[in-house]
Structure 1
Amino acid sequence: MDESGERNASYPVALQSYDDVYIGRRYQRRRRRRRQVDDEIVSEMLLGQHVTFLEKLHGFRRFKRDSIHYKTLPIHVVGESSDGSSSKKHPYHFQWNLTPSMRIKEAWKAGFNASQVTVAVVDDGVDVGHVDLRSAFSPSVSFDFVRFAALPLPKKSEDTQHGTQCAGLVSMEGNQCGLGVGHGATLGAIRLLGPDVLNDALEGDALAFQKDMIDIYSISWGPKDDGKTADKPANFTQEAIKNGVMNGRAGRGNIFVWASGNGGQNGDNCALDGYVSNDPQLTQRDIQHLIVHSSNSSAIRHVQFLTNTAGHHFHPKVGFGLLDAHSMVTKAATWQTVGVQKSCEVHNLPSGTIDLSDCCDVSQIERVILHGTIRHPQRGSVQIRLTSPGGTTSELLPLRRADSTPDLIEWDFVSVHFFGERAKGVWKLDIISENDDNVQFRVLMKSLRVTGI
């Protein structure tokens, strides 16, 4: 059930991606205590013989990630001058996403295309009749979760052009406005962002929609990246993502591409955002490996990269570097799928050091997940750093001086900075509170999980 309106009735709607699961809105006709109305609805529904599960849903908002002019940022890409003009003219000069350093055109010229790939843009709708999009659009992988209708058209306003713009970056056919990176792909449009608040069931339903037909879900929105918000997917959405990654695409795993946003200019960091192809046979883990091996750290200027003991360059703001599209699709053409994923996990972590010498046979780390709770009156002043046995240090939680909210409950702190390293050995965990002389705080780290091959 979702809270809304002033009348007292519930209109159930069947979810698209789950059998026998329904959501309804509560409309309250007259002034009555909210808890009394809720209790009556719950009691009435549970009397039904076929109701086995009932959960009250809470509304929330998600915010679109828009482009910004990189002249405002202290990071520049090799091949482009710092005043924003390209050092070398090319036919798609005004398409900021086709920077020459990414070698997208080289991939096209080598014959690689997206003709076997289906990409669904999950956003505020797509103008599917647009001259550059209509030939790519497929109604079989599209749906409007705002109106529960088949055609996911946006409302006619400047505020609802975001999904169409995102779809264009992927699938534009070059007839009028430009050319999409993955032109030739089948385009799905999933409308989820509308004027009303979201809820967990709708969000999860959208991200599980047609999971065996969709290869990639492109998602350019998330929690507000204002430097003080911490939010993550709730139960339905977590299960949708997990099930998609494990079982989507007939077992190969769906690929969820999340925009990190522009919160860095607000002192924000992806650590507090709980969300974040050439060969369609590749699994989602293969894609992660290809990204690491195909990124070019030398293509980004004015950034000091670090190097882990596996030889991979990384940076907390720009990851492993600028993705080289030509390198990625070339490697993918002969890529051998990675082995079965291994994992090791330790619980009730001691302070200071964590010994994985005898319990972990992960020889090449893919990711590390630290799970726990921070009890602190101002969570933005807490830093968490993790150092691997090889000496690589990753900042799992940076300072966020704008974040004065207390506590961070049951949170996953994730790092890929140890990619390719061995897990065996002694890890060091440092948790620091800035200006904590007179501050009482408590940290309970429940587990450390390492996954890889």
Structure 2
Amino acid sequence: MASSPQMCLSLYHLLLLTISPLRSHSFFFPSQPSSPCGPGRSWAVRLDAGSVTAGRSLERLAHSVAEEVGLENHGQIGQLEGHYLLCQGAEDSADVDSALDRNPHVLWHSQEHILRRSKRSVTFNDPKYPSQWHLHNDVKQGMDINVSGVWERNITGVGITVVVVDDGLQHTLADIQPNYSPEGSYDLNSNDPDPMPHPDSHSDNHHGTRCAGEIAAVSNNRFCTVGVAYGAKVAGIRVLDGPLTDSMEAVAFNKHYQVNDVYSCSWGPDDDGRTVDGPHPLGKAALQHGVIAGRRGFGSIFVVASGNGGQYEDNCNYDGYANSIYTVTIGAVDENGKRPFYAEECASMLAVTFSSGSRQLRSIVTSDWSLQSGTGCTDGHTGTSAAAPLAAGMVALMLQVRPCLSWRDVQHIITYTATQHDADAQADWGINGAGFHHSHKYGFGLLNAWRLVNAAKVWESVPFLVSYQSPVLKTNEGIPEYPKTLTHTWNVSLSELRQSGMQTLEHVSVTVTVVHPRRASVEIRLVCPSGMSSLIGARRPLDVDTTGFTDWTFSTVRCWGERAEGQYKRVICVIGVDPVSFAILNQFSVNTFPYAMGGQYLDRSFALPCPPGIDVPPEIVSPFTSSSLKSLLLLGCFALFWSLYYTLEVTLTHWDWRGCSTTGRDRGFQAGSTGLEDIHNILWFSNPRAALSHDPLHQTHLQLRVVLLLDFILHLAAHPIRWTLVCHG
């Protein structure tokens, strides 16, 4: 017990030795000053490392500088060597900035202020935005277009113009007007630049305005909804509110094609299960010209709806717009990701996106016209008409990040990024030789805005389009009844493809002529070399046409990415009736490209530079309408007659002057003449018109001419048509 005090003293000394370094460091360099340090009371400074002498650290220098200017050192700022945070103590220091300016050890200083920063989340005050389930589905996760992340990166379609080819566009609507592009708009029905829809007896000319709202409805304007590409411009071409001809359709497809980037077309032939129709020669030529010359040579993007004839077992391969190689064919799924009752299917469908379903399911919420019974907003937009504009808006987002995407680049990116979503056996998914999944019902799958945009950022443009066309095969064979089939094969060798530079497939098309008393019974399939089968000519029970097919072209994308060489089969049969003899003209062409992009490029954050576009001559647009031209014509006729009258008057005046001047010369200036007569004579020589104004007889003639001129003007106003014809003649 005697040693206990000594042991306690030793432990006390050990404790002092253990904590003394911490106490001494804390005493000299307090690590956590008690004074408040916030915006307005703190300065960030950068010290000169060259000022540090031997045995002295930057930390000591920071404390020294802080004491000199009346501040406290709160330590180094993060990992930035030489940068320190100095704060005011309990008492405010006077003129800190001047003191820091004078200090030789301070290279830079800045007083701290509050910085405004916002989280990269997207919020809108548009009242119907929470109901736009196709943009953000909080009820069924994954059943939306996945666009929120794209918006958060400030990709909203800025710099891109989407034109809605339809029945008009109410551009005065609050959701449309700020994004409206008059430069890309036109009214082909009335032949004037304003595509405003006209009220009709059925109050249904709202279709184009609804589609435009889906694409580019303005955000955060406290009105209705938000568009997929709410930063893009939207234009309108009014062409469906009246008789439509082949030439009008051709004009619509190429109208302002250096202003408009994407053409959204939610229309087509009748979806009645019996119609076979599509673009006629001029329309086909315009589509081809658009993808070649539109958008400075990168090609106009034509987005079309697959059709609403599903309840009639219609098929979009009988729609020439939907099976064209120049269009992006879009089908529809409901909010459950299932094919709705109205949606058509076909082998040429590229992808699907969201729209309405049965009555129990939600429809698309979008802008609406405010004319007649419209309110400017609707939650009842339906059909594949609502699906195509969503796809057009997503294409606008793609073009913002990479404006040089060609029309074929867009198709390729869709094939790579669309997602297989319905694993049901009835979905008819098939895997082709290149590993692509494709369904007659869903195309390559569901469009995903996030995947589309990220793939577009790094996409390298595919080479130019090449094609191979087989010789025309003419035969006169009977078509057997199912299960027997009539099969024609065609071998494509590698040497034949090498001449055209072909390697892999894109579209495969087959043109046939079939004579049959009931077209609904004919079924046609195409089998590619890999064995991938496409039902290109589906049976339609309601198609009772007795003429068959005349040079009709079917197409498929189910062989996309496969090698082009090998044996192709066209299999045809009759189901449900007796076999009938027929004549058939068969040809098919194969369009390919020699490049493919791997999936490892998805979700990359950089974008490749774009090459310059082709300088296309600007479109010649007349600024005059037919009514303004008529007015100018009448004005021109009036100016012509006025000039003729004025010429006649000057001529008559000149004749009068010559006669009077001759008399004056004969008479001369008499000595006894009055001064007034002399002035009158001088006026004849210097200004005959002024002299004539003093002549009572000439004044009478002038009054008579004015009366005749007024009579002529009144006659012209009373008979404008007659004078217009005279001017034309």
TM range, smaller chain: 0.7 to 0.9
User: Equivalent residue for 1:365?
Assistant: 505
User: Equivalent residue for 1:60?
Assistant: none
User: Equivalent residue for 2:215?
Assistant: 170
Q: Does 1:94 align with 2:131?
A: yes
Please state how far the C-alpha of 1:108 moved relative to its aligned partner.
1.5
Segment of structure 1 superposing worse, 125-134 or 366-375:
366-375
In 1, the alpha carbon distance for the partners of 2:579 and 2:261 equals: 52
Corresponding residue SS for 2:183: helix
Please state how far the C-alpha of 1:435 moved relative to its aligned partner.
2.7
Please state how far the C-alpha of 1:310 moved relative to its aligned partner.
0.6
The residue type paired with residue 421 of structure 2 is S
2:227 to 173, 176, 180: 180
User: Equivalent residue for 1:388?
Assistant: 528
In 1, the alpha carbon distance for the partners of 2:497 and 2:537 equals: 24
Cα deviations by residue, 1:371-405 (Å, 9 ceiling, x for unpaired): 12111111121111111111111111111111011
Indicate conservation of the 8 Å contact 1:367/1:452, yes or no.
no
Cα deviations by residue, 1:43-88 (Å, 9 ceiling, x for unpaired): xxxxxxxxxxxxxxxxxxxxxxxxxxxxxxxxxxxxxxxxxxxxxx
Segment of structure 1 superposing worse, 180-189 or 163-172:
180-189
Please state how far the C-alpha of 1:300 moved relative to its aligned partner.
6.8
User: Equivalent residue for 1:207?
Assistant: 253
Please state how far the C-alpha of 1:451 moved relative to its aligned partner.
3.2
Count of residue pairs the alignment pairs up: 363
The 5-angstrom pairing of residues 29-178 of structure 1 reads 92-95=129-132, 97-98=134-135, 100-157=143-200, 158-174=203-219, 175=221, 176-178=223-225
Q: Does 1:309 align with 2:352?
A: no
Root-mean-square deviation (CA, aligned residues, Å) is 1.8
2:584 to 440, 443, 446: 443
Indicate conservation of the 8 Å contact 1:348/1:446, yes or no.
yes
Q: Does 1:346 align with 2:470?
A: yes
In 2, the alpha carbon distance for the partners of 1:451 and 1:349 equals: 22
Segment of structure 1 superposing worse, 243-252 or 362-371:
362-371
Indicate conservation of the 8 Å contact 1:121/1:163, yes or no.
yes
Please state how far the C-alpha of 1:436 moved relative to its aligned partner.
4.1
Structure with max Cα Rg = 2
Q: Does 1:273 align with 2:319?
A: yes
Segment of structure 1 superposing worse, 348-357 or 160-169:
348-357
Segment of structure 1 superposing worse, 254-263 or 339-348:
339-348
Change (3 A) 1:300 1:225: farther
Indicate conservation of the 8 Å contact 1:300/1:322, yes or no.
no
Indicate conservation of the 8 Å contact 2:128/2:224, yes or no.
no
In 1, the alpha carbon distance for the partners of 2:184 and 2:161 equals: 9
User: Equivalent residue for 1:241?
Assistant: 287
Indicate conservation of the 8 Å contact 1:343/1:452, yes or no.
no
Change (3 A) 1:304 1:431: closer
Q: Does 1:320 align with 2:365?
A: no
In 2, the alpha carbon distance for the partners of 1:438 and 1:407 equals: 14
**Which runs of no fewer than 5 residues in structure 2 stay unpaired?**
1-126, 138-142, 323-394, 475-486, 595-729
The residue type paired with residue 555 of structure 2 is V
The residue type paired with residue 113 of structure 1 is T
User: Equivalent residue for 1:227?
Assistant: 273
Indicate conservation of the 8 Å contact 2:469/2:587, yes or no.
no
Change (3 A) 1:138 1:408: same
Indicate conservation of the 8 Å contact 2:465/2:591, yes or no.
no
In 2, the alpha carbon distance for the partners of 1:179 and 1:235 equals: 38
Q: Does 1:286 align with 2:331?
A: no
The residue type paired with residue 229 of structure 2 is G
Please state how far the C-alpha of 1:266 moved relative to its aligned partner.
1.4
In 2, the alpha carbon distance for the partners of 1:235 and 1:352 equals: 29
TM, length-normalised to structure 2: 0.48
1:190 to 223, 232, 237: 237
Please state how far the C-alpha of 1:348 moved relative to its aligned partner.
2.1
2:491 to 318, 343, 355: 355
TM, length-normalised to structure 1: 0.77
In 2, the alpha carbon distance for the partners of 1:316 and 1:223 equals: 20
1:412 to 548, 553, 566: 553
In 1, the alpha carbon distance for the partners of 2:577 and 2:568 equals: 25
Q: Does 1:375 align with 2:499?
A: no
In 2, the alpha carbon distance for the partners of 1:202 and 1:410 equals: 24
Where relative contact order (Cα < 8 A, 6+ residues apart) is larger, the structure is 1
The residue type paired with residue 387 of structure 1 is V
